[in-house]
Amino acid sequence: KLEKADPSPKRRGRPGERQRQRERERGRERVETMSEREVRQCIESVSMNVGSMRYAEALREAARLAPVEGEALKLEQVKAVVLVASHLKTEKTITESLSGLNPDEEDNLMKFVYIGLSMKDAAMSLPLFKIHEALTKKAGLGCIVRAVCAK
């Protein structure tokens, strides 16, 4: 005899539930991929702005997105910030570049500063400390606290 599959809801779940679950999973994948693509576009934009000597725009673009979870991509984000910071030679140019940032961008930038400093790379440290000093003057101690608490 051939046995028929049990059509009871216990085994199959509610109708359409499995399909909705797959759609949610696909949506998550899409968001992660879009986020990575957006980060890479941001890094490319930073490089182009630095190449065109538009450092204020490059810094704003570097600080636009918060640090991502993936270590390799996060390192690229930090390197983009260091690239801009290394071209800002004087305190005046740093201050002028920071003046266009909104509070969220200031917080993101401070997060990148601390991530970069935690890498213990001497070449990265000096430009990051200059950004840290100017950013603390502009945004205050709250910016530091928010960056440290976000880790």
Predicted confidence at residue 94, as pLDDT, reads 94
Residue 68 has what pLDDT?
Answer: 86
* 55 contacts: CB under 8 Å, gap ≥ 6: 49, 84, 87, 88, 93, 97
Q: Classify residue 62 by burial, with Cβ atoms within 10 Å: 0-12, 13-18, 19+.
A: buried
* Burial label, 70 (beta-carbon count in 10 A; 0-12, 13-18, 19+): middle
Residuewise pLDDT in 10s, the chain (151 residues): 555 555 555 545 555 666 666 655 555 444 344 478 888 999 999 999 999 999 999 999 999 888 888 888 899 999 999 999 999 989 999 999 999 999 999 999 999 999 999 988 888 899 999 999 999 999 999 999 999 998 6
86, two tokens: 């290394």
DSSP 8-state code for residue 16: T
pLDDT, residue 30, reads 40
Four-CA torsion 131, 134, 138, 142, nearest 10 degrees: 60
Whole-angstrom Cα distance, residue 29 to residue 142? Answer: 34
CATH fold for domain 15-150? 1.25.40
CB 109 within 8 A of CB 81: yes
N-to-C CA span, the chain: 62
pLDDT of residue 114: 93
Specify the pLDDT at position 140: 92
The two tokens of residue 37 are 């693509």
Comparing CA positions, the residue from 94, 26, 23 lying closest to residue 56 is: 94
